[in-house]
Structure 1
């Protein structure tokens, strides 16, 4: 058993068990990659892949357990490089952030700006995606940290820290009937609702509030982007339910923001990273900046 075989296993999983793609990534011919895999399985005394002919279909029960260790070995290799860079106080490198549109636009600008001032040599890469995909970015080492509201708590392989609490609001044009009088779930339920797609930005809390009150939630448009929701509110398609931090008084003064804190439970945005990830100094600094934003964000 050697590190090249371990790397082959990692890449096979990354390429959905495609041997030709894995061989290409390793800059070897496919027959050489297949031979290394054969030698590895012979050493273990049992196959780690289910096969149909020469095609790899998936992992055997043994393969599942082996891949858990392969993941740890790969993480250890990355940690060793990160530890060495940290030891030399290397201020060149990259920070990969996986997040949603709402967090990227309304939470991250100030922490990112402060980070750039302290670590100008670190390149920042930001990928916006769904919470499910953000978690996969962490597991496949395409991101160092993930930031979102939903899903992170469900993964036992992650360190998850609450970042800040926030509240949903309803937004309507100034002439809308809801702009006057007390807001109740009953009144909201009498209008078409525009809000986040399932899995995004506290959508589960919205559904829970309406369900507990025995009210039907008539969602006529769902999107991952707060700005898209506000656009279609302006067109008269319905009432928008968005994160309170997404309302910008300077840009959204044609809309009325209605507090829903008494109707929908508060949501918590979280930050997450792999449990076995070594945190270099620059990543620790970025996380501390995110956590320090909690008070000011709540008051926006």
Structure 2
């Protein structure tokens, strides 16, 4: 099917903004030209793409399907254009990074600061998501690379090892009977546990480890944010499983203490993830090299 790419471009803007007039403004063409282009595209595809009601438009089911693919293709094209503009001394361009807020806060910020100092004209966009959401962003071309908890079960994604991090159990003075001794995992499972939400890769890894030790847990509270787990532990809502770095300051100030268990939780590996066979921009490649060769 031979369809002029310009028609898809006009469709993309109309669908994104849910408006022919806004699409016209963005593309610097007339609204009638947008309307005619959409009619032309619908005729070539043999399907209606928009519901039209007075001045309002919305995507049909077929339109939503087309937009899903066109959006992905358009993002990859924008990425390619960005790569070309960066080839001259990195004096323009953007690096889009997908990373969890916790990893960004405790590990990534120094690298971002160094990169920004070395290449001040390169825009850095950080998108905070969970590991599974980061992989989705990668597959849709919305980030150049992501940092995710391993393992990654996606044949479309290439992974390079970044760092290993440690998760620990912490509690406040309310649970002082657990302090300064070795606690069995079974005993700990009888306390109110505060953990990351069930859908996260980190939570899944911890559960798999505990199941191998014959421990089945039923957390009292599940959250998406590790810093909130630290805060909840500080006010005595339970025993939190958190990233060591997130609790260090509170441990040093005696607001929390680390619970020493008979078996330490396995180190959690973080990987730098990219899409296979999709070339990286020079700026993204340099940032990844800085992370790997830290």
The match for 1:202 is 202
1:168 aligned to 2:167?
yes
Whole-angstrom distance in 2 between the partners of 1:73 and 1:146 = 20
The match for 1:298 is none
Q: Structure 2 vs 1, CA of residues 7 and 276 (structure 1 numbering), >3 Å: closer, same or farther?
A: farther
Cα displacement (A) at 1:191 = 0.4
The match for 1:113 is 113
1:7 aligned to 2:9?
yes
Q: Structure 2 vs 1, CA of residues 182 and 12 (structure 1 numbering), >3 Å: closer, same or farther?
A: farther
Cα displacement (A) at 1:166 = 2.4
Cα displacement (A) at 1:167 = 2.7
1:59 aligned to 2:62?
yes
Aligned residues: 285
Cα displacement (A) at 1:163 = 1.8
Cα displacement (A) at 1:259 = 5.3
Whole-angstrom distance in 2 between the partners of 1:161 and 1:48 = 44
Query: How big is each residue's C-alpha offset from its partner over 1:178-220, in whole Å with a ceiling of 9 and x where there is no partner?
Result: 2233232201101011121234461111222333444342322
Whole-angstrom distance in 1 between the partners of 2:34 and 2:126 = 34
Q: What is the 5 A alignment of 1:143-158?
A: 143-149=143-149, 153-158=152-157
Query: How big is each residue's C-alpha offset from its partner over 1:55-89, in whole Å with a ceiling of 9 and x where there is no partner?
Result: 5322389x66x965774465245314412421x11
The match for 2:289 is 288
Q: Structure 2 vs 1, CA of residues 24 and 155 (structure 1 numbering), >3 Å: closer, same or farther?
A: farther
Whole-angstrom distance in 1 between the partners of 2:270 and 2:133 = 16
- Aligned residue for 1:95, secondary structure, equals strand
Alpha-carbon contact 1:168-1:244 (below 8 Å) kept: yes
Cα displacement (A) at 1:116 = 2.3
Q: Structure 2 vs 1, CA of residues 235 and 198 (structure 1 numbering), >3 Å: closer, same or farther?
A: same
The match for 1:297 is none
Q: Structure 2 vs 1, CA of residues 26 and 69 (structure 1 numbering), >3 Å: closer, same or farther?
A: closer
Q: Structure 2 vs 1, CA of residues 137 and 263 (structure 1 numbering), >3 Å: closer, same or farther?
A: same
1:211 aligned to 2:211?
yes
Query: How big is each residue's C-alpha offset from its partner over 1:111-153, in whole Å with a ceiling of 9 and x where there is no partner?
Result: 1232123212223232323334434544555433222326x83
The match for 2:280 is 279
The match for 1:269 is 270
- After TM superposition, the score normalised by the length of structure 2 is 0.78
Q: What is the 5 A alignment of 1:35-184?
A: 35-44=36-45, 46-47=46-47, 49=49, 56-59=59-62, 68=69, 71-72=72-73, 74-86=75-87, 88-139=88-139, 141-149=141-149, 153-173=152-172, 176-184=176-184
Query: How big is each residue's C-alpha offset from its partner over 1:269-298, in whole Å with a ceiling of 9 and x where there is no partner?
Result: 1222344543222211211222234xxxxx
Whole-angstrom distance in 1 between the partners of 2:172 and 2:148 = 28
Q: Structure 2 vs 1, CA of residues 72 and 142 (structure 1 numbering), >3 Å: closer, same or farther?
A: closer
1:257 aligned to 2:258?
yes
Which structure 1 residue ranges, 5 or more long, are not aligned?
Answer: 294-300
Between stretches 181-190 and 198-207, larger displacement belongs to: 198-207
- After TM superposition, the score normalised by the length of structure 1 is 0.77
